[in-house]
A = this chain, B = another copy of it.
């Protein structure tokens, strides 16, 4: 088994787990920093290790276009190419292509789209997505799916879910590499019966983990939580569950309670570059004039390199001056905050006080 549940919370669905990949152990619940173009923006692999990152996500769509999956394969695969010897998950490219909206056309066979880089036409089918992901060589790879938009009519969501299921089967059939775990993706929009049908179909095919897709796409938070709660109740207890593209620290905590093991989101890294910083005392918008002469650290409770060495006044100066170091130090901090938060969640589950931890946070 690739996944072991170590401990389950008694009053929520939160679980402490261990995911084993070809590149080591991943302690769950886990947050995966996003390294879209084979780089977590601004940070080196050494930086990532220092803050305890065990797994990152990289984007198939971007790497397929530049520098190309074949080039990365020739360079020994994504791990070697980017100098990262811990675990990697690649998405299927489906979500990025979906985000192109006007630039793509979906058929039963494949998706035809235009590159955001040069407008050139490309086609990605489920088989092609798996082929690319095998070339990249991530430890966990995803089925090619259609991300159902929000809002979507029942009929659209039904057809979309059926397509995702057909594509999931084709992905499974095409997948060869034994050192990679293939995850299925549950779609079905905001309709519980469609989510249920999708889970049923995916379980019949059989995957090594299950992701929840098509969430955090504009629906109310309460709807997202309901769908997550409903869907995890249908998924096997002994396999990892991954909520794609989520989210805020509050979202992570809520969805851990609903039984999610894995998360990814650009929020901590993108916000860092925009100067929006997560702290134990709330969000800090570092460009604000109030920080110009603030000699205290960003977060006095934080153990990261940034907080241990620099003041808000300096961070504000770097940001206002457009210094590269602003992006580096802010990203280090925001990711440390997310990683540390997940560590605390895992500890609280381990010590049987997850509910108290959760109550205290709110």
Contact = CB atoms under 8 A, between A and B. Distances in A.
Given A323-B39, A325-B43, A83 B309 contact: yes
A130 interface: no
Copies per complex of this chain: 2
A51 B76 CA distance: 29
A317 interface: yes
Nearest to A332: B44
Given A75-B295, A81-B314, A293-B75, A66 B309 contact: no
A82 interface: yes
Interface residues of A, number: 38
Given A45-B309, A81-B311, A37 B75 contact: no
Contacts of A325: 39, 41-44
B327 A66 contact: no
A212 interface: no
A309 B38 CA distance: 14
Contact of A320 (B43, B67, B317): B67
A194 B39 CA distance: 54
A305 B47 CA distance: 12
A328 interface: yes
A68 to B, nearest CB: 9
Nearest to A66: B321
A311 B72 CA distance: 12
Given A39-B324, A75-B293, A83-B310, 11 more contacts: A37-B317, A38-B314, A44-B309, A44-B329, A66-B321, A67-B321, A71-B313, A75-B313, A81-B311, A81-B313, A81-B317
Interface of A: 37-39, 41-46, 66-67, 71, 74-76, 81-83, 292-293, 295, 305, 309-311, 313-314, 316-318, 320-321, 323-325, 327-329
Complex A-B, nearest 10 residue pairs according to Cβ-Cβ distance, in ascending order = A42-B324, A83-B309, A37-B321, A67-B317, A39-B325, A39-B323, A83-B310, A41-B324, A75-B313, A324-B327
